[in-house]
């Protein structure tokens, strides 16, 4: 590439950065003005909040666009040309200088091929380092250069794919491929399922789709937010920077285990309980379990000893009785109210207190000579009042119709074989035993959809919590406004440690800093409000590794998304969770019948051809049959295997396998995981993981320990092994304590 060409592009890119600086400065000034204003009507305040959100977002977007601001140029057949980058930039005359990658005009950059050039003569990838242009890759779209595989921007793509992995995922805006682009920009109505093998960019596509949808439908989606569900916290950490890196902060990332406010359910679970808890039939079990908590006394009436602290009872202790019939009437009245359990409880309580008050009045006011009751109505009212504060009465009501949180309900259910038998009469003994658990045990991800289901039936009054969150939000804004006023009036100031997440002590505040703080706070507030509110309904829901979700998890997610505007990405050949699915139709038909669309991703950008060749046998045995994706590149290294006799050998092999640049993962069966953890020291570049935690991740070099163990440990062992073997971008080694499983026979022995 001529240095003239580079110099020419450099001049243009420099102008773009100049405009970016202007944009940022402008937004920071406006933000400072907005924050400096205070008071006014409610409307003025809420307009200020909206402007604050707008300017802070603009600043965040400008910051996010700094690296790789402009990465492409298209020269059209008609002689025009334009530049493509991370955001849209216009000159003073509103002429575009840089076109946002999400804008319709940019599509040709991703779609044009020699066979379908879409009016494009040349596609140029512009490489930059900081603000300097370091290289150009040109593709002339003439038929002589047509590729059979339809890949676009090959040089730039391969450069991106061959780069060492750092432990976090990177965005792919510079090299999105045509089949991916079609999915990213698909309309957001209804459910879109994206099925694709390992490394086909499902996660990348899901995240870019979130950014695209928020760009194209901001007014509709930003307020409701977009929920992105991933398989585990490590994975969320891995993808955590992609959206902020694209200047997007309105998405909430969560695992299923974190979707119930106030519960962080990350405890491990074995396959049988996970499978049982995930079944659709658990909805009936929870419903039956809730009804079962609306109890009646047995044949013997319940004795309630009223203590001697009540004036209405003449400071005498008194024993009242609650029989089955009385309680039955109260229960009927409460059930007839058609309210949820906790909300119907006051009806039950009122009925019981009335019955007890009548009984007490009959006794206390009885005329020894058989005349009418001697008590005045006001005496009876006193008795009612005293009964409703009596501890014995409260205990009796608690045993008959307890106020229940979802957590307590589920804990009680798991703790009692009798309750389980009553709630799940159709389950086998073994299935019910799988649900039994000590009251102190922590919740697992499979419990969360059950907690959510219980919350639906118990009727949790979380209004107080929501109001508190809103008050906190307003207080923070008021505080930040006050902070800026002080900052504008004095050079520096210190804070006590109150509100330390807004401004920490010894902060020197300037508008830019405050903007960043605000951005953080705004981001927290969208995420915080959605995360703290179980009944929040999202504008769009994206599920990664969607094959792992159970029927009960789908029920929960569908409640979070009544519009059914969803993108589900996954691979039914990689299902590891015992409650997960191997059929998209089975998952979706209860909610949308056959009204969902299926898209395929077919090209593997991660795993080299050499590795895909040896895992073919593993994939071939997985039901339902899916086609292996084709690998974009070869690494030139054969995947190998070697037996080991002692776990210390794993450490030696791991040490020898760490790449000069990039990452290594040792992925082990559960049986060997503790020993591997003992022997192999984890670090920034070396990870030791079980298969479930490796889901969705990738590393330059991967060692898989004990493949037979992985196969045997789960009913979906074959899929687990497939996942483990397809995590590497460069090299794969397999270490086996016993014989090598036959399906891995194509591996090369290490010594050979
Ligand atoms: N168009 C692209 N340009 C550059 N890199 C890409 C592109 N598409 C995918 N990749 C890279 O390929 C790798 C695999 O992508 P990703 O993790 O999204 O695949 P996946 O389908 O989710 O895989 P798995 O099913 O194994 O979890 C990532 O490093 C991603 O950045």
Q: What is the ipTM for the molecules in this complex?
A: 0.99
Domain presence at residue 506: no
Residue 276 and residue 250 share a domain: no
pLDDT-based confidence at residue 447 (cuts at 50, 70, 90): very high
Residue with tokens 């895909």: 612
pLDDT-based confidence at residue 34 (cuts at 50, 70, 90): confident
Mean pLDDT of the chain: 88
Nearest alpha carbon, ligand 1 atom 18: 201
Closest ligand 1 atom number to CA of residue 204: 18
Cα–Cα distance for residue pair 748/752, rounded to 1 Å: 7
Give the orientation angle of helix 551-559 with respect to helix 448-458, to 10 degrees: 50
Q: In sequence order, which ranges of 490-598 are alpha helices (DSSP H)?
A: 511-532, 551-559, 584-592
Domain presence at residue 508: no
Residue 204 and residue 67 share a domain: no
Domain presence at residue 529: no
pLDDT score, position 544: 96
Q: Does residue 473 have a pLDDT over 80?
A: no
Q: Residue 534 C-alpha to ligand 1 middle, in angstroms?
A: 32
281: domain range?
271-292+404-458
Q: Does residue 282 have a pLDDT over 50?
A: yes
Nearest alpha carbon, ligand 1 atom 14: 199
pLDDT-based confidence at residue 425 (cuts at 50, 70, 90): very high
Residue 201 and residue 54 share a domain: no
Domain boundary among 576, 604, 632: 604
Domain presence at residue 485: no
Q: Which of 32-46, 237-251, 625-639 has the lowest mean pLDDT?
A: 32-46
Mutation probe of ligand 1 site: the residue of 109, 172, 204, 665 with most atoms within 8 A of C-beta: 204
Q: Residue 720 C-alpha to ligand 1 middle, in angstroms?
A: 19
Average pLDDT of 129-133?
95
Residue 605 CB–ligand 1 contact under 6 Å = yes
Q: Give the chain's domain count.
A: 5
pLDDT-based confidence at residue 525 (cuts at 50, 70, 90): low
Q: E-assigned strands of 506-643?
A: 540-543, 566-570, 596-601, 603-604, 630-631, 640-643
pLDDT score, position 159: 82
CB 732, CB 697: distance < 8 Å? no
Mutation probe of ligand 1 site: the residue of 160, 196, 199 with most atoms within 8 A of C-beta: 199
The answer on whether 52 is annotated among ligand-binding residues is no
pLDDT score, position 492: 35
Across-strand partners of 742? none
Q: In sequence order, which ranges of 293-376 are alpha helices (DSSP H)?
A: 324-336, 341-364
Domain boundary among 582, 604, 626: 604
The answer on whether 196 is annotated among ligand-binding residues is yes
Domain presence at residue 196: yes
Residue 125 and residue 141 share a domain: yes
The two most distant CA atoms of the chain are separated, in Å, by 119
pLDDT-based confidence at residue 684 (cuts at 50, 70, 90): confident
CB 567, CB 540: distance < 8 Å? yes
Q: Residue 200 C-alpha to ligand 1 middle, in angstroms?
A: 5
CB 208, CB 179: distance < 8 Å? no
Mutation probe of ligand 1 site: the residue of 606, 622, 630, 633 with most atoms within 8 A of C-beta: 606
Residue 299 and residue 288 share a domain: no
Residue 408 and residue 395 share a domain: no
Domain boundary among 570, 588, 604: 604
Residue 194 and residue 118 share a domain: no
Domain presence at residue 171: no
DSSP class of residue 666? E
Residue 315 and residue 341 share a domain: yes
Q: What is the CATH number of the domain that holds 233?
A: 3.40.50.300
- Most confident among 133-137, 370-374, 491-495 (mean pLDDT): 133-137
Residue 157 CB–ligand 1 contact under 6 Å = yes
Q: Does residue 455 have a pLDDT over 60?
A: yes
State the DSSP string of 120-178: EEEEEEEEEETTEEEEEEEEE--GGG--TT---SHHHHHHHHHSPP-SS----TTT--H
Q: What angle do CA 419, 422, 423 make, to 5 degrees?
A: 85
Q: What angle do CA 136, 139, 143 make, to 5 degrees?
A: 170
Residue 153 CB–ligand 1 contact under 6 Å = no
Structure-model confidence comparison of residues 626 and 410, the more confident one: 410
Cα–Cα distance for residue pair 659/743, rounded to 1 Å: 27
Give the orientation angle of helix 511-532 with respect to helix 463-489, to 10 degrees: 180
pLDDT score, position 508: 40
Nearest alpha carbon, ligand 1 atom 29: 606
Average pLDDT of 303-310?
85
Joined together, the tokens standing for residue 645 give 């006799």
Residue 198 CB–ligand 1 contact under 6 Å = yes
Residue 123 and residue 7 share a domain: yes
Using a pLDDT cut of 90, give the percent of the chain over it: 64
Domain presence at residue 500: no
Residue 204 CB–ligand 1 contact under 6 Å = yes
Q: Does residue 500 have a pLDDT over 50?
A: no
pLDDT digits (tens, 9 = 90+) for 545-575: 999 999 999 999 999 999 999 999 999 999 9
Q: Residue 681 C-alpha to ligand 1 middle, in angstroms?
A: 27
Residue 231 and residue 334 share a domain: no
pLDDT score, position 478: 58
Residue 645 and residue 540 share a domain: no
pLDDT score, position 344: 94
pLDDT digits (tens, 9 = 90+) for 693-716: 999 999 999 999 999 999 999 989
pLDDT score, position 51: 86
Residue with tokens 């706070």: 521
pLDDT score, position 462: 56
Domain presence at residue 395: yes
Residue 305 and residue 222 share a domain: no
Q: Residue 701 C-alpha to ligand 1 middle, in angstroms?
A: 16
């Amino acid at each position: 590439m001529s240095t003239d060409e580079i110099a020419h592009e450099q001049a243009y890119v420099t102008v773009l950065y100049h405009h970016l600086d202007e944009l940022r400065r402008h937004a920071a000034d406006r933000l400072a003005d907005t924050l400096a204003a205070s008071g006014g009507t409610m409307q003025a305040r809420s307009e200020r909040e909206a402007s604050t959100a707008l300017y802070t977002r603009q600043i965040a977007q400008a910051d996010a666009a700094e690296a790789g601001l402009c990465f492409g140029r298209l020269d059209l057949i008609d002689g025009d040309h334009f530049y493509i980058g991370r955001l849209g930039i216009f000159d003073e005359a509103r002429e575009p200088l840089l076109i946002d990658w999400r804008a319709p005009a940019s599509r040709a950059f991703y779609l044009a091929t020699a066979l379908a050039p879409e009016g494009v003569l040349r596609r140029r990838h512009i490489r930059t380092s900081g603000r300097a242009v370091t290289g150009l890759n040109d593709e002339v779209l003439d038929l002589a250069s047509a590729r059979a595989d339809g890949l676009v921007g090959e040089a730039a793509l391969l450069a991106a794919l061959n780069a060492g992995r750092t432990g976090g995922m990177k965005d792919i805006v510079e090299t999105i491929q045509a089949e991916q682009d079609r999915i990213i920009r698909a309309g957001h109505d209804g459910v879109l399922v994206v099925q694709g093998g390992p490394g086909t960019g499902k996660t990348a596509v899901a995240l870019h789709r979130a950014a695209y949808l928020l760009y194209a439908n901001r007014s509709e989606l930003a307020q409701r937010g977009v929920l992105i569900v991933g398989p585990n916290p490590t994975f969320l950490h891995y993808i955590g920077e992609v959206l902020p890196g694209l200047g997007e902060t309105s998405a909430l990332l969560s695992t299923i285990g974190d979707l119930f406010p106030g519960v962080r359910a990350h405890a491990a679970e074995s396959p049988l309980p996970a499978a049982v808890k995930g079944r659709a039939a658990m909805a009936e079990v929870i419903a039956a379990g809730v009804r079962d908590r609306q109890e009646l006394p047995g044949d013997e009436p319940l004795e309630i000893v009223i203590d001697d602290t009540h004036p209405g009872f003449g400071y005498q202790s008194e024993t009242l009785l609650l029989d089955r019939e009385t309680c039955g009437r109260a229960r009927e009245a409460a059930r007839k109210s058609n309210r949820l359990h906790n909300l119907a409880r006051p009806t039950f309580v009122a009925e019981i207190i009335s019955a007890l008050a009548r009984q007490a009045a009959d006794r206390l006011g009885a005329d020894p000579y058989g005349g009418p009751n001697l008590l005045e109505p006001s005496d009876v009212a006193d008795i009612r009042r005293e009964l409703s504060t009596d501890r014995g009465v409260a205990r009796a009501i608690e045993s008959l119709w307890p106020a229940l949180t979802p957590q307590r309900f589920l804990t009680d259910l798991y703790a009692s074989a009798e309750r389980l038998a009553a709630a799940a009469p159709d389950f086998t003994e073994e299935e019910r035993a799988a649900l039994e658990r000590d009251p102190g045990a922590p919740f697992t991800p499979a419990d969360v959809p059950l907690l959510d289901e219980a919350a639906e039936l118990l009727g949790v009054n979380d209004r107080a919590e929501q109001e508190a969150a809103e008050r906190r939000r307003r207080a923070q804004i008021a505080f930040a406004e006050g902070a800026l006023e002080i900052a504008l009036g004095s050079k520096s100031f210190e804070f006590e440690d109150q509100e330390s997440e807004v401004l920490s002590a010894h902060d020197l505040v300037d508008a830019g800093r405050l903007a960043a703080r605000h951005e953080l706070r705004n981001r927290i507030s969208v995420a915080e409000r959605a995360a703290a509110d179980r009944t929040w309904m999202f504008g769009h829901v994206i599920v990664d590794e969607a094959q792992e979700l159970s029927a009960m998890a789908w029920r929960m997610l569908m409640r979070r998304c009544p519009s059914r505007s969803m993108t589900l990405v996954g691979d039914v050949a990689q299902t590891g969770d015992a409650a997960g699915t191997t059929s998209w139709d089975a998952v979706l038909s209860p909610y949308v019948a056959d009204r969902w669309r299926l898209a395929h991703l077919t090209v593997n950008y991660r795993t080299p051809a050499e590795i895909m060749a040896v895992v073919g046998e593993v994939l071939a045995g997985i039901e339902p049959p899916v086609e292996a994706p084709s690998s974009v590149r070869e690494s030139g290294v054969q995947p190998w295997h070697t037996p080991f006799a002692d776990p210390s050998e794993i450490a030696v092999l791991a040490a020898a396998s760490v790449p000069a640049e990039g990452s290594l993962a040792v992925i082990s069966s559960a049986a060997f995981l503790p020993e591997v953890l003992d022997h192999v020291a984890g670090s920034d570049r070396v990870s030791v993981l079980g298969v479930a935690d490796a889901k969705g991740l990738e590393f330059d070099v991967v060692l898989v320990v004990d493949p037979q163990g992985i196969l045997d440990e789960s009913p979906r062992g074959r899929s687990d092994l497939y996942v483990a073997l397809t995590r590497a971008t460069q090299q794969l080694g397999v270490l086996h304590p016993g014989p090598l499983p036959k399906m891995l026979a194509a591996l090369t022995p290490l010594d050979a």
